[in-house]
Amino acid sequence: MTSSLPGILGEIADITDAETALLVAQSHGGVRVSIPPRAEDGHWLTDLLGFEIADRICRGLAVVDADGRLKGIQREVLPLGPASVLKSARRRAAHALQAGANPREAARIAGLHERTIYRMKADSDGGQGELF
């Protein structure tokens, strides 16, 4: 890997370019995603980047399993990369949660990890109920 971006974002940057990887991070950074071994119509990656670029990424990230079948990526948390400014992201997450979004949706909207959303929720209710 030659990119300075973390994890799978670096691999995407190596397959395409850093701008594309940052676009992916901005769109889905911080949440679990699945990427098929070949691009599919209607998949978020294809909708975001177009079929040709998405297919290049899918094929570049795919691995061959022990049975010789091509496998994609399953339930991988995409790194945020430099796509997030923490204070404004937390504010977007809080607004999304107040509007009724679930933690996964709020994480995607805000560009934060799901774990961060759960920590924010725990901090907002003090982490414990009141005794008196």
Q: What is the pLDDT of residue 22?
A: 87
Q: Are strands 70-71 and 73-77 parallel, antiparallel or unpaired?
A: unpaired
- Gap between the Cα atoms of 127 and 78, Å rounded: 27
pLDDT tens track for 105-115? 999 998 888 99
- Gap between the Cα atoms of 35 and 59, Å rounded: 10
Q: What is the pLDDT of residue 127?
A: 54
Contact 12, 57 (CB under 8 A): yes
- Gap between the Cα atoms of 57 and 13, Å rounded: 9
- Gap between the Cα atoms of 114 and 29, Å rounded: 10
- In terms of Cα–Cα distance, which of 16, 23, 9 is closest to 57? 16
pTM of the entire structure?
0.62
- Gap between the Cα atoms of 122 and 117, Å rounded: 9
Q: What is the mean pLDDT of residues 92-100?
A: 91
Q: What ranges do the domains of the chain cover? A: 7-81, 84-124
Contact 5, 18 (CB under 8 A): yes
Q: What is the pLDDT of residue 130?
A: 56
Contact 78, 25 (CB under 8 A): yes
pLDDT tens track for 65-86? 899 899 999 999 988 876 555 6
Q: Partners of 33 in the beta sheet?
A: 76
Q: What is the pLDDT of residue 44?
A: 96
pLDDT tens track for 1-53? 566 788 899 899 999 998 899 899 889 988 999 999 999 999 999 999 999 99
